Amino acid sequence: MPDLGLEVLFKGKNLARLLGGLWTALRISLLSVAISLPLGVLLGVLMTRNNRFVKALLQFYLNFIRIMPQMVLLFIVYFGSTRAFGWDISGEAASVIVFTLWGTAEMSDLVRGALISIPRHQYESAEALGMSKSQTSLYIIIPQAVRRLIPLSINLVTRMIKTTSLILMIGVVEVLKVSQQIIEANRMSSPNAAFGVYLSVFLLYFFACWPISLLAGRLEKKWS
């Protein structure tokens, strides 16, 4: 059995530290999700309204956010805001801002897509039954849109969790940082620690995202 550097995980508090690192990343993504989802719903609904100015503004926001790599957005907020406004925001705050901006853009697009995917005659037949606009929305449109939306927004959650790995690059302590520290500290006693530690990190991310993806897939199949 070659030395895979797995034993280092069970030394001292290393495993707990790794999990703690993952928790930091998870906390950042959950916080961003919690803000993004309602904001995204709001913007998504606004985008289906016929206000030209609002539409153009949202379109610009959406397009810019979606075409830029999240790393670039992270750099802009983390480095740029210090420079432009003299704020000294923490890496954690910068990440929450960026992931919220990004998550809101993605979510609003999902909401808009779900709303316009509902065929016209659904509105028409509801009106033909004498329903008011708000009754039509409440009983006919929203329930259908929500069914389309839920699997997609669950998928968005996994994408946000995966994206939080990027915050290593601006120095927020989380999984990768912790693993580098562990590897560094055990360089002498277990030279192969890098394999075991990075494999664990890999698996930790996988087991954080996989169940959520499975859930999304199952709901999608059930409701399509």
Partner 1 sequence: MNWEFISKYLPLYEKAAWLTLKLGLLGIVLATLVGLLCAAVRYYRIPVLEGIVRIYIEISRNTPLLIQLFFIYYGLPKIGIRTDPASCGVAGLAFLGGSYMAEAFRSGLESVDPIQSETAYALGMSRSQALRFIILPQAAAVSVPAYMANVIFLLKETSVFSAVSLMDLMFTAKDLIGLYYKTTESLAMLVGFYLIILLPVSALGNVLERRLRYAGFGA
Site residues, partner 1 (CB under 8 A): 2, 4-5, 67-72, 75-76, 79-80, 82-84, 158, 162-163, 165-166, 168-169, 176, 183, 191-192, 194-195, 197-199, 201-202, 205-206, 209-210, 213
Question: CA separation (Å) from 53 to 68, 87, 102, 176?
Answer: 23, 31, 21, 43
C-beta of 72 vs 146, nearer to partner 1: 72
C-beta of 45 vs 61, nearer to partner 1: 61
Per-residue b or e along 112-130, where b marks 16 or more CB atoms closer than 10 Å to that residue's CB: bbbbeeeeeeebeebeeee
Least gap, CB of 133 to partner 1 (angstroms): 30
Structure tokens at 18: 């790794």
Residues 6+ apart with CB under 8 A from 172: 24, 28, 90, 91, 92, 95
Least gap, CB of 66 to partner 1 (angstroms): 9
Structure tokens at 1: 């059995």
Least gap, CB of 109 to partner 1 (angstroms): 12
Count of other CB atoms within 10 angstroms of residue 80:
13
Least gap, CB of 119 to partner 1 (angstroms): 15
Least gap, CB of 144 to partner 1 (angstroms): 22
Structure tokens at 39: 């904001």
Q: How far apart are CA 37 and CA 25, in angstroms?
A: 18
C-beta of 102 vs 136, nearer to partner 1: 102
Least gap, CB of 115 to partner 1 (angstroms): 20
Question: CA separation (Å) from 169 to 36, 125, 174?
Answer: 22, 53, 10
C-beta of 37 vs 166, nearer to partner 1: 166
C-beta of 106 vs 140, nearer to partner 1: 106
Look up residue 85 and give its DSSP letter.
H
C-beta of 131 vs 198, nearer to partner 1: 198
